[in-house]
Amino acid sequence: MIRFQQVSKKYNDQLVLENFDIAIEDGEFFVLVGPSGSGKTTTLKMINRLIEPTDGDIYFNDQRLIDYNLKELRLTIGYVLQQIALFPNLTVAENIELIPEMKRWNKAQKRERTEELLRKVNLPPEEYLHRKPAELSGGEQQRIGILRAIAAKPDIILMDEPFSALDPISRGQLQLLIKELHKEMASTVVFVTHDMNEALLLGDRICVMKDGKIVQTDTPEEIRSHPANEFVAQFFQQEHSNLENYCAEDLVELDLLEQSLSLGETTVALDTALPVIIRALVEGNKVILADEEKVLGEITDRTILRFLETKMEKGDQ
């Protein structure tokens, strides 16, 4: 567990975080969302001690962060930035294996883990292991950045606006991918975004921030249904990404459905928007597409990923 206890941060006389008091549970996907200047990135950077609080304490597993050996602490934390920051002189494999190397994994362990991860994100090892970052697209580079952060199986993964520089299709693809990886690894993820739609899609819980203070912390469903005030309500009204332009019928047209003979927890129609379907999948539900009570097939994580990959190949934005 990560716990902030009455944490504040000042730069000179400017208060950028005030009495921040929150507990993040083990294995939780916790999203910090708010406009620019709300204190999101400052909060995130305090977890790996890139920034130290002016007042208050931060705890990890009931021990103050300040009492940890800094190097050992950071080796338990993966970090993904908007600026991908791969080492340009290193190959894809060497970039992914940086932290396992520091943890003294042997050569076979490192390569086995790297190849496993590359397959998970649909980058065949035989094609990508020895490429340099300059040979990759922006979306591919960001995938490698994510793999580098999770390669050594960290307890905590920090993600600071990791997808905001990508085109909408790449962004949607990586949003679903990180949720898949989170479910498999059960690491604690702290994710920063200024996009409420991304927060609602990804988060187990969301902390809405404004001017260095917490406005509301709750599940996506509660924030959507019961915003704490007009600021949260208006923030939720921001423009949706163009994934809203796609629906279940688009999946049928590309023949991407899985066969299914049984109903699931969630049944959707042909006109159900893609973000609604993705949210149901993120929540772990089995999603069935039906038309006039006839089951057409099952929509899975892989269905959505294949759809997004098809759109990328066609150059759709």
Same domain (yes/no): 192, 71: yes
Q: What is the DSSP letter of 121?
A: T
pLDDT score at 243: 67
Same domain (yes/no): 281, 173: no
Q: Mean of the per-residue pLDDT values for the chain?
A: 88
Same domain (yes/no): 189, 72: yes
pLDDT score at 233: 87
Last residue of a domain, one of 199, 223, 238: 238
Report whether 185 contacts 202 (CB < 8 A).
no
d(CA 249, CA 202): 23
- pLDDT surpassing 70 at residue 240: no
Same domain (yes/no): 220, 144: yes
Last residue of a domain, one of 238, 261, 285: 238
Among 236, 238, 157, 161, which residue's Cα sits nearest to residue 193? 161
Same domain (yes/no): 181, 34: yes
Provide the residue range defining the domain that includes 37: 2-238
pTM: 0.80
As for how many domains the chain has, the answer is: 2
d(CA 258, CA 157): 32
The helix (H) or strand (E) run that includes residue 6 is: strand 2-11
Confidence of residue 170 (pLDDT cuts 50, 70, 90): confident
Question: Which has the higher per-residue pLDDT, 239 or 206?
Answer: 206
